[in-house]
Homo-oligomer: A and B are copies of this chain.
């Protein structure tokens, strides 16, 4: 007799599992942790264990605590960003990285303050910063400035990722019923602008262009002074 396996289940003729609890894996823990962060905006080992139908000590067997889980989630973001094709000009490479970076965090805005609140130790993400560092150094940025520019780019990108979770209307028109608006210029600007995802995307591209132009102006000024 041939044992027929169904994807994700045990072979039909295999002995019954000893425990009823779902078998934990690192991937299952991370899926549950990310879902918890997305839904509630926080991550506690107790709530994670409840969600997994498991215990905190079983989770610790796979991942040594909350910080390690967050670093593993950071790793997932880093995997989604991926490596940037080598030997590109710094501005092209940076723009590519920033677009992928924003995309990776777009669906997980609640994860952002958690990850910015803890030291980056994940090797995938450190390797990504190493690559961008190399790009900036080759572009002519000073070694003592690279970390500041990485911070600037992080701040702009994570702020832009948060913006993807904004409502379709960011600003409410403030006109009282039948009355004169106290914010007529803002109301007109909102009417003239795109809404929703279109607004967020257009702002991101405009800001990225401005930031790269400002970085280029900084390089030019440094070259003039040197």
Main secondary structure of the interface of A (DSSP, over half): helix
Stretch at the interface among A17-25, A79-87, A183-191: A183-191
Min C-beta distance of A222 to chain B, whole Å? 12
How far is it, in angstroms, between the C-alpha of A115 and the C-alpha of B146 when the chains are bound?
A: 31
Query: Chain A: how many interface residues by the 8 Å CB criterion?
Result: 74
Report the copy number of this chain in the oligomer: 2
Q: Is A96 an interface residue (CB 8 A)?
A: no
Contact of A155 among B41, B129, B130, B156 (CB under 8 A): B156
Min C-beta distance of A210 to chain B, whole Å? 3
Contact of A126 among B110, B154, B171 (CB under 8 A): B171
How far is it, in angstroms, between the C-alpha of A36 and the C-alpha of B180 when the chains are bound?
A: 37
Q: Is A65 an interface residue (CB 8 A)?
A: no
Interface pairs (23), CB distance under 8 Å: A113-B162, A113-B165, A116-B166, A119-B169, A120-B171, A120-B172, A123-B182, A126-B183, A127-B182, A130-B183, A130-B186, A134-B185, A143-B192, A147-B199, A148-B199, A149-B203, A150-B189, A151-B199, A151-B203, A152-B207, A159-B159, A209-B218, A210-B218
